[in-house]
Amino acid sequence: MKAIKLLLGTLVIGMSFASCIVDNSIDEPYYVSLEEVVTANDLWYIDYNNTTGTGDVPFLSKAFTISFINGKVYANNNLVGIGTVGNGYGIQIGFYDTFDGRLKIDHNLDGFYNFDVIQLSVNNIKLRDNYNNVTYNLLGYQKSTFDYDQVFYDNIEYFLQEYSAWEKTYTSTAGDVNAFDYENFLQFTPENLTTFYSSKDNVGTPIANIYWDYVGDYAVANVQGYNNLKILTLDYDPSGNEKFELTVINDGKISLYHIASGTTYEFTGRGYIQYLKPSSSLSKSATSDTGRARTKVFRETEIRRNLK
């Protein structure tokens, strides 16, 4: 389909209005307003891997979805709670208008931004910020058809970062004894998107008192033929790698199947971190953080060789 660009059209009566022209080689062009374009879908998923340019718009780089509703902008900045927070739209992060043919957003923290909107289809638009030299690719969905669960697997590294610690809460009786049996806490941080910490402290230790025995690199790989499974590799240099099949049980619990030993562990998130959420509205168990931003993630793909 040819790209559709939002232009400034003119009504027969002489009034100006924002419009969208489809160049489809017919005698009468089809006009659609910018407001209709940005509100055509309940949720716009920010396809960050297809971002182009050298600049950055902080609130778009932090968000997984963005929505435009009656002049207000909503975003899902966290994976934990996605689909339920704000009735699925997330938290309100600012205001917008489309009056002069450009999308203008007034963000609560980042201030004013102007965007050209390029419509590739009803479900695909690009937001181009010429001043900051960056273009974001957005994919549109209705809430009723949006696969919230798949978003966890597509962005698993960010999900792992949304708790201050992951505490081991289950170990299967099946499986061989191995060194990982003694690791009771894991932590994944935004540093290079590849840093993890582990601790042998007793289960139940308060987060603030955990002594992190080890810091190393980790990697997440896709699994050929599986959309709901990842391979997590923890690099315990110099003793070697620990490799797991990673599945998401819910937005507060993960399962790690230790491939070498056949042991299954479950880890529960502790210390939920909400991104760009006003501290006055946080629950007692949550903290607020405005520093995380998404980066492009490219994973290797592995073949599942150890069927349980």
pLDDT of 18 over the 80 cut: no
- What is the average per-residue pLDDT within 145-165? 94
Q: How many residues does the chain have?
A: 308
* pLDDT value, residue 11: 34
State both tokens at 46. 């920010």
Residues 6+ apart with CB under 8 A from 24: 2, 30
Domains, in order of start, for the chain: 4-146 (no CATH), 154-302 (2.40.128)
pLDDT of 23 over the 70 cut: no
pLDDT band for position 13 (cuts 50, 70, 90): very low
Least confident range of 198-202, 204-208, 241-245, 277-281: 277-281
* pLDDT value, residue 193: 79
pLDDT of 285 over the 50 cut: no
Main-chain dihedrals φ then ψ at residue 187, nearest 5 degrees: -140, 135
3-state secondary structure 17-69: EEEEEECCCCCCCEEECHHHHHCCCCEEEECHHHCEECCCCHHHHHCCEEEEE
CA dihedral 256, 259, 260, 264 (to 10 degrees): 40
pLDDT of 12 over the 60 cut: no
Give the span between the Cα atoms of 227 and 160, in whole angstroms: 17
Give the span between the Cα atoms of 88 and 151, in whole angstroms: 13
pLDDT of 24 over the 50 cut: no
> Parallel, antiparallel, or unpaired: how do β-strands 111-121 and 195-199 relate?
unpaired
pLDDT of 225 over the 50 cut: yes
Please, which residues bridge with residue 158 across strands? Answer: none
What's the whole-model pTM score? 0.84
Query: DSSP class of residue 201?
Result: P
pLDDT band for position 264 (cuts 50, 70, 90): very high
What is the residue-averaged pLDDT of the chain?
A: 86
Q: Using one digit for the tens of pLDDT, what is the confidence trace for 267-279?
A: 999 999 987 544 4
* pLDDT value, residue 297: 85
Percent of the chain with pLDDT over 70: 84
* pLDDT value, residue 10: 33
- What is the average per-residue pLDDT within 189-201? 90
pLDDT of 282 over the 60 cut: no
* pLDDT value, residue 45: 98
